[in-house]
Structures are given as structure tokens and as C-alpha cells.
Structure 1
Amino acid sequence: MKKTLGERLFDYGNILFLVLLSIVTLYPLLYILIASVSDPAYVAQARGIMLLPKNFTLDAYNMVFKNPMIITSYLNTLFYVVVGTTLNIVLTSLGAYALSRKNVLWKNFIMFMIVFTMFFEGGLIPLYLLVSELNMIDTRWALILPTAVSAFNLIIMRTAFQGIPDSLEESARIDGANDFTILFKIILPLSLPVVAVMVLFYGVYHWNSWFHAMIFLQNRELFPVQLILREILIANDTSSMTTGVSAVDAMPIGETVKYATIVVATLPILCLYPFLQKYFVKGVMIGGIKG
């Protein structure tokens, strides 16, 4: 159908608005990338918008990767993401499967208690006391086990499992399949979009997590990269990366090192997201179809 003048103007207005919104959203990321590869003196003196790097250099990145704590914290974060996300997916899948089956004893009460934790929680002090009583203070498990299952993600996955026809489970049981076989060979393969969304949710959470690390960890050898990044940005501590640089040059070089550290800390998630994007909207919609 031929659009009227008002409809065309509305479409053009939407396009213009979305383009401007994209620019406003993307420019801070572009600015950080440009500043990280520009001459430190130019970055220190620059005012306003930067669209292209000046005197392209990778010195800031060389300084970042010369810092042993960056490499160590990066490996720590990879451990937290891989192990934590794997445990999250396994436990969330088991809980969602059990709560999505019919005739499960006290299913509604258990679901109510899980939803209750989304609105009311003990707070930081009881959590710290619990982690301390379990002897997990200053261990890697303090960042993984207390957040092993997200109530919100559990509800999404449970709702998705409820949308799978019961006839598939009944046919599998007739063939002698048990609950683990049904879950891992039937339910999960049919729920890959939701699983991909859960991987993205949990993975991004672990990658960006720093608060629990700040509370539960004292050993710097266990720090995730985001906690090191926080120290660099908030404490303004780039001295370990600018050793051998004159005091006059240390400040502008320190600024570009901060930008380079931000890029290093966020680049993996930015690279991973496009591969999961096609599952993202579909998975969330599947999880919200049936209550």
C-alpha cells in the first residue's frame, strides 16, 4: 500500500531519531578507542569531539600488557566466566526442569519462595557471614557459588521448558528414558535459543562482576580484571604501568593507559555478542510467552 505523506514523515522521523540515538550511544566507545591509540599529549590537550586518532601509537596497550596484574586478572576472569557460567547453566537447567514438570510435590510453594527472593533478600552482611562460615573467603568459589542460580533466569528457563509438548517426554519415558536423559537429550536441544540467552546473561554478569570480588577477596592474585580496572580508574593508579616515564609525561600517558585498559576489559564481550544476538530476542520472547 502506498504510504501517505504523514506516514512517510513519521518513518523518516523514526530513522533520524534512531540514527542520532545510535551516534550518541556509540560515540563514547569510539572516543575511548580513538584515545587509546592516539598520542598521549594530544589526548591530554584535546577538547570536544575526536573522530580520528592523532599520531597513531600502541604504546598504551604495550604498557597495559606489561603489567603482570592485567594478565593474571584476565586469566582469573576467564576462569570465573567459564566455570561460573557452566555451573549456572547446569543448576538453572536442573531447577527449571524440575519446576516445569507436572505433579511435582510443592512446586508452587517452591516457586513462590524463589520469586520471594527477587523482592526480599538478607543483604550483604548475612551473605558475607554465610560465605565466611563456608570458609570461602579469599577463594575463587566465593565469586561463583553464592550466585550459582539467578531467580529471574530460572523463571525464564522454566517458562520455556513448559512450552515444550508433554508428548515428547511421554514418548521418551515409554522408551525407558530417565529425567536426566529427557533434560539433556530432548529439552535442552529444543531450548537452544533460551540456553544461549542464559549463557549471555550469566557470562556478562561474571565478566563485569567486581563488587563481590572487592568484598570477599584480599589476595590480588585472585582479582578479576574488572576489579583491577576499577582500581586504575577510581584510584587513578597507573604508576605500575608508567615506570621509567618522566613525571611530566606520566599524567598524559596514564590517561591513554586508562582508555586502553577499558578497551582490553570490554573487547571480548563486544566480540562475543554478535554471535549470540540472533538468539537473544527469540530466547527472551520464548521465555515470556507462557506464564
Structure 2
Amino acid sequence: MSTAAIRKKDDMWFDILNIIILSLIALAVLYPLYFVVIASFSSPDKVNTGEVWLFPKGITFEGYERIFQDNRIWISYFNTIKYTLVGTFVNVSLTLMGAYALSRRDLAGRNVIMLFLLFTMFFSGGLIPTYLLVKKLGMLNTMWALILPKSVALFNLIVTRTFFQSTLPNELLEAAKMDGCSDFRFFFRMALPLSKPIIAVIALYYGVGHWNSYFDALIYLNKENAYPLQLILRNILIQSQLSAQMLGGNIDGLAAQQRIAELVKYGVIIVASAPLMIAYPLMQKYFVQGVMIGSVKG
């Protein structure tokens, strides 16, 4: 058997092994999500007995009805969309401007600035000083308390700076300046149009962070009509569980409340995750390009 034939056979077995391993990983990642989806409208009794594992059984939408009958859901959905859109816009804008400035070799003291920024990555003022600062600035019970304290993530700033350094050569800036292009015009007319992959990546990171965030709202917001979706869903889930516990003496009532609590639990996961699962495929092309930054040279 020739060397080329042996190599081809080895490559075939390598591909088969890769396919098997990646298929198992994909199954381990996708099946829990699939199970949550089918369990959210299956009978809790059948879920608890293990009958639901591949297809839904005893289909019921009572959990979703309980969730969407609560008017707080719609208010919190609007709040979360507002916080996510405004917050992501602020985050992406500041990150792009900061990363571009730090990527320029002619910025005086950029290494010192990066040193100070890296220091904040490992050390912070803590929750109480941050709360006192937010309160002193008058941002309590406003969306700015959820946005401005975390307006720039250092990891995203470093990744974006690396993208600018590897994508925008100095020769491009020099040529633009020879044609009379200012720094602001170069940034908005040339740097940003060439940065769609990294913009998609950091926008997705920031957007997911804002959408899933509830701790900051728990600390800084006291008005229920300003709560984001995650906090309202958390309260609904806790109320369902407490209702079941308060009916300890009534066996039938307890069983019914526990049944509803199980449906609500799975339904809450779907309601909270559905928008992100819909948005991700639309950004997947740019996301894949962006996360490969620096992996291929030449």
C-alpha cells in the first residue's frame, strides 16, 4: 500500500472520529435545551416519571397561560428591550472608540492607560462603594444605573483593540491623511465599515449580558414597573413555589400548585431565552468571523 493511500485512510479515520466526538458534544449541548422546550408544554406528571424524553406527552399550555396572564411580563419585556438596546449601543460605542484610540501607536501613554485598565480587571471598589456612587449620582431607579457602571467590559475592549491593530494598517491611515482625512472621518468612514465582524461579536456579548442581567436591577431598582424581564420572571417563579409550600395541609391543592410551579419553571426558561435564540442566527456569520480574530496570520 502506497504512502498516499495510508495517509488517506488515516485522514478518513480521523474525520470519522472527529464527527463522532463533535456529534456527542452537540447532543450534550442541544438535548437539554430541547428537553426544556418539550417539558414546558408537557404534563408535569409525565415529566417527573421520566416518560418525556424525546417527544412531548400530555400537552398543556397552562404554564405559558399563567406566565402571560401576568401583566408585569409585558411591561418587563418592554423594559428589558429598552435596557438592552440602549445599553448595547452605549457599550459598543464606548468600546469601539476606546479600542480604536488605544490601537493607535501615536497615542501618548497608551501603555500606561492599558495598565490602569488591566488593574480594574482584577480589583474593583466593591458593591457598597459602587452603590453609594450610583446613589450620589442620582441614578437609582433609572436605567442608567444598569448601564453606565458597566459601560465598558475590558475583555471586549482588548479584543476590539486587537482587531483594529490587525485589520487597520498604519499605511491605510497615512494614505487617508495624505488625502486630507481627519481622525474622526477616518474612524467613522473607514474603521467602522471594516469592523462589522467585531461589532457583531461585542454587540452580541453586551446584548446577552443586558438581557440576562437581574442582579443589578435587584440592587438599584425599587420600582416594580422598572424591573427587567429576568427579575419579574424570578419573582413569578418564587411566588409559584411559595404558593405550593403554603398549601402543605391541602394535599390536592399542593399537588396542583406543584404541577403549575413545574410548568412555570420550564416556561420561564423559554420566555427568557427565546429572543436570544432568534437573534443569534441573524448574527452568526459575523460572530464566527469575529471570534476567529488573530487565529490566522498571513
The verdict on a shared fold, with TM-score over 0.5 as the criterion, is: yes
User: Contact 1:38–1:53 (CA<8 Å) still a contact in 2?
Assistant: yes
Match of 1:250 among 253, 257, 261: 257
Aligned to 2:182: 178
SS at match of 1:145: helix
**How far off is 1:11 after superposition?**
3.5
| Residue number among 24, 30, 34 corresponding to 1:20 in the alignment | 24
2:124 is equivalent to residue 121 of structure 1: yes
Q: Distance in 2 between matches of 1:174 and 1:193?
A: 28
Cα shift at 1:77? 0.8
Does structure 2 conserve the Cα–Cα contact (< 8 Å) formed by 1:114 and 1:151?
A: yes
- Distance of 2:216 and 2:14 partners within structure 1: 47
Equivalent AA in structure 2 for residue 277 of structure 1: Q
Tell me if 1:277 matches 2:284. yes
What is the aligned partner in structure 2 of residue 58 from structure 1?
A: 61
By how many angstroms is 1:90 displaced? 0.8
SS of alignment partner, residue 292 of structure 2: helix
Report how many aligned residue pairs link the two structures.
Answer: 283
Q: Indicate which of 127, 134, 137 corresponds to 1:131.
A: 134
Select 2:94's aligned residue among 74, 91, 102. Answer: 91
Output the CA distance in 2 between the equivalents of 1:4 and 1:288: 27
Deviates further, 246-255 or 124-133: 246-255
C-alpha displacement at 1:126, in angstroms? 1.7
SS at 1:218's partner residue? coil
Whole-Å separation in 2 of the counterparts to 1:269 and 1:155: 25
Distance 1:223 1:71 in 2: 11
Q: 1:73 to 1:204 in 2, by over 3 A?
A: same
**TM-fit CA distance, 1:155:** 1.0
C-alpha spacing 1:144/1:250, structure 2 compared with 1 (3 Å): same
Alignment-mate amino acid for residue 279 of structure 1: Y
Moved more, 138-147 or 270-279: 270-279
1:145 to 144, 148, 152: 148
Letter in structure 2 aligned against 1:195: I
Distance 1:211 1:289 in 2: 38
Which consecutive unaligned segments of at least 5 residues does structure 2 have? 244-251
1:285 shift after superposition:
2.7
Q: Give the whole-Å Cα distance in 1 for the aligned partners of 2:125 and 2:287.
A: 32
CA RMSD, Structure 1 to Structure 2 (Å): 2.3
Q: Report the 3-state secondary structure (helix = DSSP H, G, I; strand = E; otherwise coil) of the residue aligned with 1:146.
A: helix
Contact 1:32 1:263 in 2 (8 A): yes
CA distance in 2 between counterparts of 1:5 and 1:236 reads 58
Larger CA deviation: 220-229 vs 46-55: 46-55
| Rounded Cα–Cα distance in structure 1 between residues aligned with 2:82 and 2:71 | 17
Q: How is 1:110-259 mapped onto 2 (pairs within 5 angstroms)?
A: 110-163=113-166, 164-233=168-237, 236-237=240-241, 247=253, 248-259=255-266
| Contact 2:91–2:151 (Cα < 8 Å) also in 1 | yes
Structure 2 CA distance, aligned partners of 1:223 and 1:60?
A: 21
- Contact map agreement 2:237 2:261 (CA 8 A) in 1: no
TM-score, normalization by structure 2? 0.86
Give me the whole-angstrom Cα distance separating, in 2, the residues matched to 1:266 and 1:79.
17
Q: Deviations over 1:187-237 (max 9, x none)?
A: 011111111101111111111111111111111111111122333445654
255 and 110 in structure 1: CA distance in 2 versus 1, 3 angstrom threshold: same
User: Quick check: 1:232–1:258 contact (8 Å CA) kept in 2?
Assistant: no
2:293 matched to which residue of 1? 286
Q: Percent identity?
A: 48
Q: What is the aligned partner in structure 1 of residue 269 from structure 2?
A: 262
Query: Structure 2: which amino acid aligns with 1:196?
Result: A
Q: Structure 1, unaligned stretches of length 5 or more? A: 240-245
